[in-house]
A and B are shown apart, each in its own frame.
Chain A
C-alpha cells in the first residue's frame, strides 16, 4: 500500500487494441446500504490494481444485460481491490443488485479525469455531497482523511432526503466523532429519532466558517438541482470560481470519447470530466 497517487489526472489512453473489452472482476463483499443503494467491494480476477484517481469512473458489465458507468468510491491508494456504491436506477444496475459475493462482472476503465489532489494540498477543503454524490466524493474524502496533515481545515457537508437514505452509515458515524474534520449532516425530511439538522443542504452553510476563502478548495457532487444552489452559497463565501470542482453525471456509453452521449457543448464528459473546474463549465448551458 502506498500513499502516493498519480500527480495529475490524465485522460484514459488505451495502449492496447481492446478498449471495448472488459476485464473480469469478482465481487468480494456486498452490503445493502438503503432501499436503492448497495455497496460492493470487487477485485480483478488477475489481482491487478484498478489504478484510479479520485473522481474517475468505470464501466461495469453484466454480460447479456449491458454496461453502466459507475464512479469509483474507494481510496485510490488501496491496491488490489476497489469499491463501488451502486443505485438501482436502470436495467444494468438492477441486475447488479441481484448479484452476490463470489459473482463476477466485467470492468472497463478507469476512465475520465478525476480530482487533482495536488490542488487541495495545503488548503482548506470543503466537501459538499448530496445523496449518492457521496460515492464519487468518498474516494477523495478518504484520501484526504488519510493524509489529513497535508490540509488545513477540512469540512464535509452531507445531505440526503431522509435519514434512512444515509450511505456509509458506519463511516458517517466516524466522521461525526473525528475531531480533525468539521462534519455536518442534514436530511430534507426528518424522521422519528432524528435530532440533527432538517432542511436542504444549503441550510448547513451558516454553520460553515471559511477563514481564508482564497485558500479554500471546494468539491461538490450531487443531483443536478443541488449544484446551482450550493455554488451560489460557496461563491457568497467569497470562494473563487476557480477553486470549485464539480463532478457531473452523464450516461457515458463508450467511456472513451466517441459515442457522444455524454457531450456537453463541445466537451466529452467521459474524457475531460466527469470532474470539472466550475470556472471552466459555468458558461456551458447544458452542464447542470
Chain B
C-alpha cells in the first residue's frame, strides 16, 4: 500500500513529528553524514550517502549501563534499563536489514532486555537511496528484503514506513499498523496515483541498475564458499596489510560483540557495570586469564570476522551477516576492501 506526499507535505510531517516526539535522523557532519537527535526538522536530511556509523549506536550504544551498585557492605545492585519512545527517521535499506539481524541476535536464547526494550519502543522510518560505487547490498539480499513486495508480504516488513523519492514527490510504503497510525496522526497523504506507482517502478529499476560494485557472489554463494576458505592463504595475505585496529567492527551495522567493564564514581561510594563496543580484531579479544590467546594472529582474527559476516550469522539466523553497506571499506585504515577480499577468497579457493 502506497501513499503520496509532496516535499512540502513531507516537511510538514517531519516538523509535526519533531514537535511532539523524540526523533533521530541524519544530519550533515563536516563533509559526511551521521545520526543525531533532531530538534529542528530543517536540519534533517533524507537524501544522503551512507552515514559514517550506523543507527545501531541507538539500540546498542557505544557504552551502556547494565547495573548500578554501591561500594558498601551491601552493594544492592540494581538493574538499569533506559529506554524511550523514539522515531528513527531516514534509515537506509542496509541499516533496516542490519537492525532486523540484531533483533535476532538479541532475542536468541537469552533475551537482552536493554536492546529489546529500546527496539520495541522505536518506530523505524526508511528512506530510499541510490548506491554509491562501493555499495553491494543488492548482492547481500538486503534490497529484496526491503523493496521486494512479494518477499515482504511473507514476513513482517523491516520498517514501519518507507519513503521513496520519485522526483517531484515521495511515495510512502506502509509496513506496519504502527506506521499507518503514525502517518494518519501527523499527515494527510493522498493515495498514490497509477502514474506515481509507475514512476516508483522506474525509480526502483534505476536503483537496481545503478549498482557498480564488483562483488561477485550473492549471500547464498558466499555461505557456500566460506567453509572452503578456512585454510586459505588469502587470510595471511590480507593480515599482512591489516592494522587490526578494529575500525571495521565499530562502523559495521551488524557487529554487536561487547566488553563488560566496571566504572567507579569519583565519590568512591557508587559504581556501575557497563557494556561497551568491542572488536574481535583487537589482539586481546579471545585471550583467557592464563594468557592463552585462541586467535593470536591477525589472520585468525580477520578470518573470524569475515566468517561471521559470510557464514556464521547466516547459519544461525538465516540472514546475511554482511549488509553490503561497505562502511568497513570506506573507513578502513589500511584501505582493505571486503568485496576484494570475498572475491579473492573465491578466486583462490577455486584454484587451490
B295 on the A face (CB < 8 A): yes
Contact A285 B79, CB 8 Å, known A63-B69, A66-B260, A89-B289: no
Interface of A, secondary structure class, is: loop
The count of residues in chain B whose C-beta lies closer than 8 Å to any C-beta of chain A is: 51
CB distance from B11 to the nearest CB of A (A): 40
Q: Say yes or no: is A11 at the interface (Cβ < 8 Å to chain B).
A: yes
- Residues A20 and B110 in contact in the complex (CB < 8 Å), given A89-B290, A251-B288, A266-B315: no
Q: Say if the beta carbon of A17 comes within 8 Å of chain B.
A: yes
Assess A286 versus B295: contact at CB under 8 Å? Given A21-B77, A259-B260: yes
Beyond A13-B110, A17-B113, A266-B315, whether A253 also contacts B259 by CB under 8 A is yes
A21 near B67 with CB under 8 A, answer: yes
52-107 of chain A: CB within 8 A of chain B: 61, 63-68, 87, 89-90, 93, 104, 106
Which residue of the partner chain, among A20, A263, A266, A271, contacts B79 with CB atoms under 8 Å? Answer: A20
Whether B77 lies near A258 (C-beta < 8 A) is: no
Q: Is the CB of A258 within 8 A of B106?
A: yes
Report chain A residues within 8 Å CB of B304.
Answer: 263, 265, 286
Best-surrounded residue of A11, A24, A106, A266 (most CB of chain B within 10 A): A266
Tell me if B79 and A18 are in contact (CB < 8 A). Answer: yes
Chain B residues closer than 8 Å to A61, beta-carbon distance:
77, 273
Q: Is the CB of B110 within 8 A of A260?
A: no
Contact partners of A249 in chain B: CB under 8 A? 288, 290, 292
Q: Which residues on the B side are within 8 Å of A20 (C-beta)?
A: 66-67, 79, 113-114, 273
Query: Do A22 and B77 touch across chains, with their CB atoms under 8 A apart?
Result: yes
Shortest Cβ distance from residue B140 to the other chain A in the assembled complex, whole angstroms: 19
Asked if A254 and B262 make an inter-chain contact with CB atoms under 8 angstroms apart, the answer reads no
CB of B71 within 8 Å of the partner chain: yes
Closest CB in chain A relative to B271 CB, distance in Å: 5
Residue B208 lies at the interface, judged by CB distance under 8 Å to chain A:
no
CB distance from A67 to the nearest CB of B (A): 7
Q: Is A14 an interface residue (CB 8 A)?
A: yes
A284 to chain B, nearest CB (A): 10
- Chain B residues within 8 Å of A264, by CB: 294
Q: Tally A-B pairs: CB < 8 A.
A: 132
B238 in contact (CB, < 8 A) = no
Q: Which residues of B contact A106 (CB under 8 A)?
A: 75, 77
- Bound together, the chains give a CA A61 to CA B307 distance in angstroms of 33
* 0/1 interface trace, chain B 272-313, chain A, CB 8 Å (1 if under): 010100101000011111101011000010001001000110
Residues of B within 8 A of A224 (CB): 292
Interface membership of B16, Cβ < 8 A: no
User: Contacts A66-B260, A266-B315; is A250 near B294 (CB within 8 Å)?
Assistant: yes
Residue ID in chain B nearest A22 by CB atoms:
B77
Residue pair A257, B275 in contact (C-beta under 8 Å): no
Is the Cβ of B75 less than 8 Å from the Cβ of A93?
A: no
Q: Are B77 and A19 in contact (CB under 8 A)?
A: no
Q: What chain A residues lie within 8 Å of B78 (beta carbons)?
A: 21
- A89-B289, A258-B106, A266-B307 given; A19·B112 CB < 8 A: yes
A121 within 8 A of B: no
B202 within 8 A of A: no
Taking beta carbons and an 8 Å cutoff, which residues of A are in contact with B? Answer: 11-14, 17-22, 24, 61, 63-68, 87, 89-90, 93, 104, 106, 223-224, 249-251, 253-254, 256-261, 263-266, 271, 285-286
A-B contact pairs, 14 of them (CB 8 A): A11-B109, A14-B111, A17-B81, A20-B79, A20-B273, A22-B77, A64-B264, A66-B260, A67-B260, A224-B292, A256-B112, A258-B112, A261-B285, A265-B304
Residues of chain B touching chain A, judged by Cβ–Cβ distance below 8 Å, are 66-67, 69-71, 73-75, 77-79, 81, 105-106, 108-114, 230, 256-262, 264, 271, 273, 275, 278, 280, 285-290, 292, 294-295, 300, 304, 307, 311-312, 315-316
